[in-house]
C-alpha cells in the first residue's frame, strides 16, 4: 500500500476518533441538561425521586412511573428548584413531558437512531439513590425490537439504580440516545432505556392520550345524566333478558372515571349473552368470552369456576393459581386468597351483602417483549344474591425493574343494576 494512502487512512481514523469526547468533557456538555425530579402527592406525604432530561425550552422528559399518582412535580439542581406541570403523557412508552416556566437550561441533542451499534460506548447521567448528576459508563449491549421490527428498548451495561429513572443515556459525542427507565434487579448489568426517537413522538402521542381522557370525562358526565332513568326493578340471582348492570371504573392515578354498561340480550342454556354478543357469561357470572377490555383485569384474575365454584362461595384461605390471556398476551397469577364472612357493603347509594376476598401474591405480565413477575394485590367483593362481583380493587407494579415504587391502581364498582 502506498504511503499517501496510508497517510490518508490514518488521518481519517484520527478524524473519526476526534469526534468522541473524553468522559470529563462529555459530562461538562450534558450535565446542565439532566435534572433531578421530585414528585409528591397532594398531602405531601408520599415522595418519589427520579431524573429528567431537558429536551427544549422549558421542557423536560422523564418516566411516567416517576410521576404516577402524584400531583406536584419539582425539578432541581444545585439547590435551584422549579415547579413543573405535566404537559404530555405517553404511558405506553413510559415517557412524560413536563413544562417549566422561566426555565432556561440547555436542551440535549438527539442522536440518529440509525447510527446505534451494539458495542459502542455509552454514558448514563442521572440521580441514582439521590446522588445528583452522577456519570456512569458502559456498552450498548443490545437493540431490542418488537415483532414488527420497531426499536423498543436500548439495552446497556451502564449502571442504572433507583433514582436514575428518567435520566439520559448518551453516545460518545454527548447526544441523547435514550431515557433510562428500568433495570432487571435479578440480573447483572441488564439495564434498559427508551429510545430517544420516542421523545420526538411524545407530543403527538400525548395529545392523543389527553383526548382519550377528555372522552372518558364526557362519558362520566353522560353517566350522571343517565341517573334520571326509571327506578330499577329488584334483581335475582337468575339472569333474564333485560337485566342490566352499570359499572364505573376509576383510575386512581388520575381519578378519571368511565362507565361500563352490560345488558342481557338472551339466555341460551348455560350461556348469558350481553351487549349483542360482545360478552358471554355462565349463569354463575364467570366470563366465557369477551371482545371488550372494559372488565379485562377482573376477568383475567377470576379463577376457573368463578368466585362461587359449584354454588359455594369461596371461604377460608386457599392458594389461587390462574393462567389466562387477553389478545394473545399471557397473564398468570400465583396468589393467596383470604375470604371473610358475608357482610354489608355500600357502593354509592346501594347496599349489597357480599363476601370479601383479598388476593395477594405475584402476577406474571408482559412489558414490551419481556415477561416479569410483579407484586399484585386485589380485593373482590362478591354478592351471592346477584352471583356477581359488585366491587373490585387492584394494585400491581407497572414493571418489575422500575426505579421507583410505581403502582397501577384501579377500582371497579357496580353502581346500578336492574331489570327492564
Residue-level pLDDT at 407: 62
If you search the block for the grid coordinates 406541570, which residue do you land on? Answer: 85
194 & 234 share domain: no
Q: Which of the residue ranges 4-13, 40-49, 245-254, 375-384 would you say has the lowest mean pLDDT?
A: 4-13
Strand partners, 82: 75
Identify whether the C-beta of residue 179 lies closer than 8 Å to the C-beta of residue 61. Answer: yes
* Element holding 219 (H helix, E strand): helix 197-225
In a shared domain, residues 332 and 405: yes
Taking only the tens place, the pLDDT of each residue in 138-184 is 999 999 998 888 999 999 999 888 889 999 999 999 999 999 987 65
**Torsion 67-372-400-167 (CA) sign:** negative
CATH classification of the domain holding 275: 2.40.360
Of 42-46, 279-283, 379-383, the range with the lowest mean pLDDT is: 42-46
pTM of the entire structure?
0.55
Whether 146 and 238 share a structural domain: no
1 assigned to some structural domain: no
For residues 187 and 275, state if they share a domain.
no
Instruction: Please name which of 278, 340, 348 lies closest in space to residue 313, comparing C-alpha atoms.
Output: 340
Residues 256-279: tens digit of each pLDDT: 788 889 999 999 888 999 998 889
Tell me: do 78 and 138 sit in the same domain: yes
3-class DSSP state of 273 = strand
Return the exposure string of 75-85: e unless at least 16 CB atoms fall within 10 Å of the residue's CB, then b: bbbeeeebebe
Provide the pLDDT for residue 2.
46
- Residue 327 predicted with pLDDT over 70: no
Which pLDDT value is given to residue 201?
A: 92
Instruction: Determine the length of the chain.
Output: 420
Mean pLDDT along residues 352-358: 92
Q: How confident is the model at residue 386 (pLDDT cuts 50, 70, 90)?
A: confident
For residue 204, the surrounding DSSP H or E stretch is: helix 197-225
Confidence of residue 185 (pLDDT cuts 50, 70, 90): low
Nearest Cα to 37, choosing from 18, 23, 54?
Answer: 54
- Output 229 or 202, whichever has higher pLDDT: 202
Contacts of 279 (CB under 8 A, 6+ apart): 262, 273, 287, 289, 290, 291, 292
The grid cell for 316 is 377460608
Distance CA 276, CA 103 (A): 54
* 211 part of a folded domain: no
> Cα dihedral angle (248, 252, 257, 262), rounded to 10 degrees?
-30
Give the whole-angstrom CA distance, residue 263 versus residue 251: 24
Average pLDDT score, the chain? 84
Give 89-129 pLDDT, tens digit per residue: 998 899 999 999 999 999 999 999 999 999 999 999 999 98
Strand partners, 319: 336
Q: Which of 96, 102, 97, 62 is nearest to 80 (CA)?
A: 102
Q: In the chain, what percentage of residues exceed pLDDT 90?
A: 44
> To which residue does cell 422561566 refer?
102
> Which pLDDT score is estimated for 181?
87
User: CB–CB of 280/274 below 8 Å?
Assistant: yes
Asked if the structure places residue 208 within a domain, the reply is: no
> What's the rounded Cα separation, in Å, for the pair 406 and 403?
8
DSSP letter for each residue of 324-359: EEETTEEEEEEEEEEEPPPEEEEETTEEEEEEEEEE
pLDDT in tens, 45-101: 788 999 999 999 999 999 998 998 888 999 999 989 999 999 999 988 999 999 999
Confidence of residue 232 (pLDDT cuts 50, 70, 90): very low
What is the predicted pLDDT for the residue at 16?
Answer: 43
Identify the residue with better confidence: 202 or 348. Answer: 202
Structurally, how many domains does the chain consist of?
2
- The helix (H) or strand (E) run that includes residue 98 is strand 95-99
- Dmax over Cα atoms in the chain, in whole Å? 97
In a domain, residue 216? The reply is: no
Partners of 53 in beta bridges: 34, 61
The residue that leads in pLDDT, 7 or 222, is 222
Are 51 and 89 found together in one domain? yes
Residue 385 in any domain: the answer is: yes
Measure the CA–CA gap between 31 and 255, rounded to whole angstroms.
Answer: 36
End residue of a domain, out of 152, 179, 200: 200
The verdict on 163 and 233 lying in the same domain is no
pLDDT (0 to 100) of residue 358: 95
| Structural domain includes residue 68 | yes
Give the 3-state secondary structure of residue 174: coil
Last residue of a domain, one of 161, 180, 200: 200
The pLDDT of residue 274:
92
Residue range(s) defining the domain that contains residue 72: 18-200
Query: Residue 128 belongs to a domain with what CATH number?
Result: 2.40.10.120
Is 196 in the same domain as 265? no
Looking at residue 304, its pLDDT comes to 84
The answer on 74 and 36 residing in a single domain is yes
For residue 8, tell me if it sits in a domain: no
* Alpha-helix runs per DSSP H in 280-324: 296-301
* Cα separation, 231 vs 390, whole angstroms: 19
- Which of 55-59, 134-138, 190-194 is least confident? 190-194
Q: In this structure, are 404 and 357 located in the same domain?
A: yes
Same domain flag for 124 and 176: yes
Residues 250, 312, single domain; the answer is yes
User: Does residue 210 lie in a domain region?
Assistant: no
Q: What angle do CA 374, 393, 265 make, to 5 degrees?
A: 115
pLDDT-derived band at 368, boundaries 50, 70, 90: low
Amino acid at each position: 500500500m502506498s504511503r499517501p494512502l496510508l497517510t490518508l487512512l490514518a488521518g481519517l481514523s484520527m478524524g473519526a476518533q476526534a469526534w468522541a469526547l473524553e468522559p470529563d468533557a462529555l459530562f461538562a456538555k450534558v450535565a446542565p441538561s439532566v435534572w433531578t425530579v421530585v414528585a409528591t402527592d397532594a398531602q405531601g406525604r408520599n415522595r418519589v425521586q427520579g431524573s429528567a432530561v431537558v429536551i427544549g425550552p422549558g421542557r423536560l422528559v422523564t418516566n411516567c412511573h416517576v410521576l404516577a399518582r402524584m400531583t406536584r412535580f419539582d425539578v432541581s439542581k444545585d439547590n435551584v428548584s422549579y415547579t413543573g406541570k405535566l404537559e404530555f403523557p405517553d404511558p405506553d412508552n413510559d415517557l412524560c413531558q413536563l413544562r417549566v416556566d422561566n426555565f432556561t437550561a440547555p436542551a440535549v441533542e438527539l442522536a440518529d437512531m440509525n447510527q446505534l451499534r451494539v458495542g459502542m460506548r455509552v454514558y448514563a447521567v442521572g440521580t441514582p439513590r439521590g446522588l445528583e448528576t452522577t456519570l456512569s459508563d458502559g456498552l450498548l449491549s443490545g437493540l431490542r425490537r418488537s415483532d414488527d421490527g420497531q426499536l423498543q428498548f436500548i439495552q446497556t451495561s451502564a449502571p442504572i439504580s433507583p433514582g436514575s429513572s428518567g435520566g439520559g443515556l448518551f453516545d460518545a459525542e454527548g447526544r441523547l440516545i435514550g431515557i433510562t427507565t428500568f433495570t432487571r434487579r435479578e440480573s447483572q448489568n441488564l439495564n434498559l432505556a427508551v429510545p430517544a426517537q420516542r421523545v420526538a413522538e411524545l407530543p403527538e402521542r400525548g395529545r392523543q392520550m389527553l383526548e382519550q381522557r377528555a372522552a372518558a370525562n364526557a362519558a362520566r358526565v353522560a353517566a350522571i345524566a343517565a341517573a334520571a332513568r326509571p327506578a330499577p326493578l329488584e334483581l335475582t340471582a337468575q339472569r333474564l333478558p333485560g337485566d342490566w348492570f352499570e359499572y364505573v371504573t376509576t383510575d386512581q392515578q388520575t381519578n378519571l372515571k368511565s362507565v361500563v354498561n352490560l345488558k342481557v340480550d338472551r339466555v341460551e342454556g348455560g350461556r348469558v349473552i350481553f351487549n349483542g354478543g360482545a360478552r358471554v357469561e355462565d349463569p354463575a357470572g364467570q366470563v366465557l368470552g369477551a371482545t371488550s377490555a372494559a372488565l379485562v383485569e377482573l376477568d383475567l384474575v377470576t379463577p376457573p369456576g368463578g368466585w362461587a365454584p359449584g354454588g359455594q362461595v369461596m371461604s377460608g384461605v386457599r392458594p389461587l393459581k390462574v393462567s389466562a390471556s387477553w389478545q394473545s398476551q399471557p397473564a398468570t397469577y400465583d396468589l393467596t386468597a383470604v375470604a371473610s364472612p358475608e357482610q354489608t357493603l355500600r357502593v354509592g347509594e346501594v347496599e349489597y351483602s357480599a363476601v370479601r376476598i383479598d388476593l395477594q401474591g405475584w402476577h406474571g405480565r408482559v412489558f414490551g417483549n419481556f415477561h416479569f413477575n410483579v407484586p399484585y394485590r386485589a380485593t373482590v367483593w362478591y354478592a351471592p344474591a346477584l352471583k356477581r362481583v359488585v366491587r373490585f380493587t387492584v394494585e400491581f407494579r407497572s414493571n418489575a425493574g422500575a426505579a421507583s415504587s410505581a403502582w397501577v391502581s384501579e377500582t371497579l364498582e357496580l353502581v346500578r343494576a336492574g331489570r327492564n
